[in-house]
Amino acid sequence: MTQSIFDKFQYYANLREDVARLDTNPFNVVVEQVLSETEAIVNGRRTILAGTNNYLGLTFDPRCIAAGRKALEEEGTGTTGSRMANGTYAGHLALERELADFFGLPSSIVFSTGYIANLGILSTIPGPSDVVLLDADSHASIYDGCRLGSAEVIRFRHNDPGDLDKRLKRLGTKAESALIVVEGIYSMIGDQAPLQEIVEVKRRHGAYLLVDEAHSLGVLGEHGRGLVEQAGVQEDVDFIVGTFSKSLGAIGGFCVSKWKELENVRYAMRPYIFTASSSPSIIASTRVALHILREQGAELRKRLWDNAHRLYLGLRELDFKLGPESSPVVAITLGESKEQALEIWHDLLDKGVYVNLVMPPASPGAGCLLRCSLSSAHSAVQIDAIIDAFRSLRNNILES
């Protein structure tokens, strides 16, 4: 039988067949009309959005919209160039200064997406003679950044400082230039890295540490700087990577560092050098969102965490298998049957609730996930409606 270059995608072909019998594809949901930060029309039905990562609800903030509109009118729709060519506008540099000031660090680089931020940093800073030790549940962008680079890559067990310590010991003197990579909040089930313990291991071996705060920026810490701030370990963290597409309600990414040498890395990062820069309107809205985070973050975080606790406790009372702690990311673990997972996800959508359906290999284990991500803009009534929708499907979920 003749082999095809497409044979390797048979799993996805089978998945498409399973999805075809539904009137909505869970991996390509079409939002027909956006009504607010928390509601949209999907399949002609008013739907609560419980899977958007819009943690602080800033996507419709009139101040962000006004700043984006002004930049659009004054600077056009895009830069049409990379940061290394004609794509660095005054706004890009201003945002880098403001991010550095927000974190109290000397160095900052802005990228077009959070994904590209990880690609750029992880493919460039660790070289052929270096080692990257990454948490096994790290985001795909972290894995892809390591794959693009030339360093040796070693995985350690998820949230296991002891396993990390063992692997660093085996490296001997190479541990002194090793880079440890963890996340603040892990995006699949919402658990946090044991950062203080990881820092202790890092100190013991003299390694470097990168923390991806994509899902914890604006969510954790007294000032919303993430888990690094909440754990009180900023002096021990070498690089913080994050995104604008969660709490800041836009698109883009960044890296901040206590090392002034980060500026030199800018000239060696292929994903930075050869990617068009963010449009002026995105930069403008992000700058305003960052200002709102600094000025009103405490109030927005309180509302977000009130919603998170309300949903987590409500679903726990229904005996669902949840993550280990309350979080703005609340995920229910299902069984391994993708057919059942598709049906349950679709039934939730029919009841007016959109959540993320996550299947292997994207899910951390063999099971599928129904993943909710909450916003400070959700009302208590909406949270209760989400719980009620899950309650109505309780037997199907527990039997999956």
Give the DSSP letter string of 255-269.
EEES-TTHHHHTTT-
What does the buried/exposed string (b/e) look like for 114-138 if buried means 16 or more CB atoms within 10 Å of the residue's CB?
A: bbbbbbbbbbbbbeeebbbbbbebb
260 near 106, Cβ under 8 Å? Answer: yes
Q: What is the pLDDT of residue 1?
A: 65
Same fold, 7-59+297-399 and 79-278: no
19 near 25, Cβ under 8 Å? Answer: yes
CA distance 198 to 190: 18
CATH topology of domain 79-278: Aspartate Aminotransferase; domain 2 (3.40.640)
CA–CA distance from 376 to each of 28, 198, 217, 286 (Å)? 25, 30, 14, 18
Strands 33-34 and 39-42: antiparallel
pLDDT tens-digit map of 62-116: 999 999 999 999 999 999 999 999 999 999 999 999 999 999 999 999 999 999 9
In 10 A of CB 84, how many CB atoms? Answer: 15
CA distance 26 to 161: 36
**Of 374, 369, 314, the residue nearest 340 (C-alpha):** 369
Quote the pTM value: 0.96
CATH topology of domain 7-59+297-399: Aspartate Aminotransferase, domain 1 (3.90.1150)
pLDDT by position in tens, the chain (length 400): 678 999 999 988 888 888 888 878 888 899 999 999 999 999 999 999 999 999 999 999 999 999 999 999 999 999 999 999 999 999 999 999 999 999 999 999 999 999 999 999 999 999 999 999 999 999 999 999 999 999 999 999 999 999 999 999 999 999 999 999 999 999 999 999 999 999 999 999 999 999 999 999 999 999 999 999 999 999 999 999 999 999 999 999 999 999 999 999 999 999 999 999 999 999 999 999 999 999 999 999 999 999 999 999 999 999 999 999 999 999 999 999 989 999 999 999 999 999 999 998 889 888 999 999 999 999 999 999 999 999 999 999 998 8
Return the SS3 of 380: helix
- What tokens were used for 86? 């004609």
**Of 190, 196, 277, 193, the residue nearest 231 (C-alpha):** 196
Domain residue limits, the chain: 7-59+297-399, 79-278
Q: Assign 3-class secondary structure to 166-214.
A: HHHHHHHHHHHHCEEEEECECCCCCCECCHHHHHHHHHHHCCEEEEECC
Place of tokens 């590209």: 116
CA distance 140 to 327: 21
Q: How far apart are the first and last CA of the chain?
A: 37
